[in-house]
């Protein structure tokens, strides 16, 4: 927990958290492992029973949106108990995870909140693992990509960060939510309320970040909300998800794969072209189009 979350704790604090599971230490809390022990055991048993098919389905969902590559590093998935409402799953690079492979760390405590039954929880976890597996694969795509290199050379300002979130989190959310029940009511021909709201919040955030209207703390909060917080408040991730859907619908999956391969600037360019083909689609804020 120390490296990904910047939280340090002593051995004595860890011992206290083990002895008193409702206390926790540095995000490490075993309370759900005690209070929901049977539910946790049922979930892990269900995951194990699905294991072989689960791997194949996740790989197939993610592979549809990845460019060809001669060699991929496998992704390791670890299940653990961390305090509830900290995170449900996170992708760690090998150095941070002290592993030779990319690692997805799943917080079983949070997965227990997914649904009312073991089957529901396992179904939702499959979509979340597809989401995180895309992140792990995208890090491998970025190495050696001229488009991603050009993006990095621009420097990591606030607006370029938003562009990164729209591609990275947007496509991951798109892969995730495609496989969920009710996705046909989410990805519709005419923009729905969630799509309109996400792009309205995106435009508002870009204006505030560009004219710096607010304190440093407020601007940092606006930037963080692009990808952190309640799902439908993450304006960068959600607008990127709908942009990914629009690109694929208007220009084909190959165009979206091209954006993944070439980076955020290509993603913005293709979405701008998509808006020209689909006038009902919400436009990009001018602060993002100036990157092109």
Pick from 18-27, 32-41, 165-174, 280-289: least confident: 18-27
Judge whether residue 141 has pLDDT over 90: yes
Supply the pLDDT for residue 6: 75
- Average pLDDT score over residue span 200-211: 96
Supply the pLDDT for residue 214: 86
Residue recorded with tokens 């692009």:
226
The Cα–Cα gap between 205 and 236 comes to 9
Judge whether residue 59 has pLDDT over 90: yes
Supply the pLDDT for residue 1: 64
Q: pLDDT category, 4, cuts 50, 70, 90? A: low
Question: To the nearest whole number, what is the mean pLDDT of the chain?
Answer: 92
Q: Which domains does the chain have, with CATH numbers?
A: 2-142 (3.30.2010), 146-289 (no CATH)
Pick from 14-18, 113-117, 262-266: least confident: 14-18
Judge whether residue 2 has pLDDT over 70: no
- Residue 197 CA: distances (Å) to CA of 200, 210, 218, 241: 5, 20, 20, 13
- Cβ within 8 Å of residue 210, ≥6 positions away: 158, 159, 287
Q: Please, is 11 exposed, middle or buried when counting C-beta atoms within 10 Å of its C-beta (0-12, 13-18, 19+)?
A: exposed
pLDDT tens for each residue of 160-171: 999 999 999 999
The Cα–Cα gap between 255 and 247 comes to 7
Q: pLDDT category, 269, cuts 50, 70, 90? A: very high
- Average pLDDT score over residue span 149-153: 89
Q: pLDDT category, 82, cuts 50, 70, 90? A: confident
Question: Percentage of the chain with pLDDT > 70?
Answer: 98
The Cα–Cα gap between 32 and 117 comes to 16
DSSP 88: S
pLDDT tens for each residue of 225-268: 999 988 999 999 999 999 999 999 999 999 999 999 999 999 99
Go through 78-105 and write b for each residue having 16 or more CB atoms within 10 A of its CB, e for each that does not. Answer: ebebbbbebbbbbbbeeeebeeeebbbb
103-107 and 89-92 strand pairing: antiparallel
Q: How many CB atoms lie within 10 A of CB 156?
A: 10
């Amino acid at each position: 927990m120390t490296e990904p979350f910047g939280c340090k704790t002593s051995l004595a604090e860890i011992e206290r958290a083990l002895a008193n599971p409702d206390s926790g230490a540095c995000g490490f809390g075993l309370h759900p492992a005690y209070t929901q022990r049977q539910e946790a055991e049922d979930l892990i048993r269900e995951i194990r029973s699905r294991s072989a098919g689960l791997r194949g389905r996740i790989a197939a969902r993610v592979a549809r949106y990845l460019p060809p590559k001669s060699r991929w590093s496998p992704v390791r998935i670890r299940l653990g108990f961390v305090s509830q409402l900290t995170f449900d799953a996170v992708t760690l690079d090998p150095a941070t995870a002290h592993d030779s492979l990319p690692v997805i760390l799943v917080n079983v405590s949070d997965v227990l909140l997914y649904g009312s039954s073991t089957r529901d929880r396992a179904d939702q976890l499959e979509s979340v693992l597809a989401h995180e597996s895309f992140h792990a694969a995208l890090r491998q795509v970025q190495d050696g990509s001229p488009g991603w290199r050009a993006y990095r050379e621009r420097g990591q300002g606030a607006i370029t960060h938003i562009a990164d979130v729209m591609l990275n989190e947007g496509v991951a959310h798109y892969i995730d939510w495609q496989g969920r029940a009710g996705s046909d009511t989410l990805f519709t021909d005419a923009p729905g309320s969630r799509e309109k709201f996400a792009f309205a919040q995106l435009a508002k955030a870009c204006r505030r970040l560009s004219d710096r209207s607010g304190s440093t703390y407020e601007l940092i909060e606006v930037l963080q909300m692009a990808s952190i917080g309640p799902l439908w408040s993450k304006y960068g991730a959600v607008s990127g998800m709908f942009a990914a859907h629009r690109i694929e619908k208007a220009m084909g999956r190959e165009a979206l794969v091209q954006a993944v391969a070439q980076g955020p600037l290509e993603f913005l360019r293709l979405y701008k072209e998509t808006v020209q083909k689909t006038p009902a689609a919400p436009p990009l804020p001018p602060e993002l189009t100036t990157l092109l």
